[in-house]
Amino acid sequence: MAKRLFDILASALGLLLLSPLLLFVALWIKWDSPGPVMFRQERVGRFGRPFRIHKFRSMRVDAPALGPQITIGEDPRITASGRFIRRSKLDELPQLWDVLRGAMSLVGPRPEVPRYVALYPPALREIVLSVRPGITDPASLAFRNESELLAASADPERTYVEEILPAKLALMVDYVESASLGGDLRWVWRTVAAVWWRSARR
């Protein structure tokens, strides 16, 4: 109950305070490349229910036809504005709406597409999907350089499925089994600090 109340208050306040920034990013995307401002994709949510996640579009509209669902290094499908908003994580801000409407939480296991969730071992799937997915979590922070790791692989898809996904799952399970409101506040702070540090270095 306290977690959901925190999510509602924080996401509503975030949407209100960040509305000028959200508008600016939307206009930049519209000016930069043809296509919709928002990218919507089916992800698997709490109890295995599918939902549509919202992100600012950072790729060409024909990106799904040009490559895999994972992003690999300096992916040529990424637009000029997309490179910046992905690096600064501004593309994730529309998910505050997903938090407000109850499909997501500020902190929780990152929601995956159905094809990867199908690869979760049943016992771990039950644990991970027992809570709302989040905008950030320990696995997101641990693998914030995921696209660079995949770019160094001869077979990115196989590396993701056989190496990165199992490691992420272990961190997700650890989070779910020890989650608390105080812990969520720490993960939010660590996420903000990590994004700021990464942006400041570039």
pLDDT tens across the length of the chain (202 residues):
889 999 999 999 999 999 999 999 999 999 999 999 999 999 999 999 999 999 999 988 877 766 676 777 677 888 999 989 988 889 999 999 999 999 999 999 999 999 999 999 999 999 999 999 999 999 999 998 888 888 888 888 899 999 999 999 999 999 999 999 999 999 999 998 888 776 545 5
- Cα 59 to chain centroid, rounded: 15
pLDDT tens-digit readout, 42-79 = 999 999 999 999 999 998 887 776 667 677 767 788 89
- DSSP for 172-187 reads HHHHHHH--HHHHHHH
User: What tokens does 158 get?
Assistant: 């196989």
pTM of the model: 0.90
- Contacts of residue 175, Cβ cutoff 8 Å, sequence gap at least 6: 107, 108, 109, 137, 138, 139
CA distance linking residue 124 with residue 75, whole number of Å:
31
Domain residue extents for the chain = 2-201
